Structures are given as C-alpha cells and as structure tokens.
Amino acid sequence: MILDLSQPSFEIIRVTAEFSNAAVVAVMPYIADVAQKLDLPVSRPVTAEHVVHCSITPLRNWGVEIGINGAWVFAFDRGYVNTIQGPNEFFLIQDFDRIPDYFGEVKITKVDAVKLARDTLMKLHIPLESVFAEQDP
C-alpha cells in the first residue's frame, strides 16, 4: 500500500466575507451558551467582537470553526458545538519539548472523573443516555 500525502483529503472552497460573517452571527449564540454553561475562562458575553478567525468546513455538512481571543477554538457542526479547544490544548502544541508539561501525578479518582464527565454533560443539557454515559465506563 502506498500512502499519498500530497493531496488534501477534502476540497477547499473559498467563501465570501458575507457568508463567513453570516456563519459567525448564526453560531455565536451556541458558543456563548457553551462558554457560560461550562464557566470557561473567556470574556463574557462571547460576541462577534471576540472572533479572531472563522473557517468554514464544507464536508458532508457545513461546519464552522471559530477562534476567539485567548486562543480558544470552537467547532460547530450538525446543530451543536462539537469541539472546544483551550489555549493549552495538547494536540496543538508546536514545541515538542513542551510535551512533558502535560505529564503529572493523577490527582482524581476514577469515580470522581466519571462524576465530573457526567456533571459536565448535564451542564450542557446532554442526556447521559444519548452518549451512553449512564453506563459503567
């Protein structure tokens, strides 16, 4: 098998500024709602003035990725915010010498970790059953 990395796996489509601005207006209430419910350390209320970039992803469904001040990124697709990346997101680091910064002593029990995850889902009004979180991990 030959893996060809020369071609992107998705088509890039340019959109107008008007389209991008309309996407920001449509998605910002969802981002503001999630930021408030999770008590994220971002300026509130989160508004279009906080946006530093907006990317449109035209895969099967249109998606929007919005970056706001403070190096926070939110992805919206299929009617909900499906990704939140904070300024210290492990997968975004460029300096691999910083990887040990993400290691540390585990200070939470399995029971407490499961409770934290379930509590977070409930803050977002996501029924535990809809993501199978009512089951034993």
pLDDT tens sequence across 42-89: 988 899 999 999 988 776 677 899 999 999 999 999 889 999 999 887
- Residue 86: which of 99, 69, 103, 101 has the closest Cα? 69
Q: Contact, 48 vs 24, CB < 8 A?
A: yes
- Residue 31: which of 71, 74, 62 has the closest Cα? 74
The distance of Cα 84 from the centroid of its chain, to the nearest Å, equals: 2
- Residue 48: which of 17, 77, 69, 34 has the closest Cα? 69
pTM over 0.85? The answer is: no
Tokens 């300026």, residue? 43
Q: Contact, 120 vs 38, CB < 8 A?
A: yes
Q: Where are the domains of the chain?
A: 17-95, 105-137
DSSP string, 53-77: EEEEEESSSEEEEEEETTTEEEEEE
pLDDT in tens, 84-130: 999 887 777 778 888 888 888 889 999 999 999 999 999 999 999 99
Question: How many C-beta neighbours within 10 Å does residue 26 have?
Answer: 11
Higher-pLDDT residue of 99, 36: 36
Dist CA 36 CA 17 (whole Å): 28
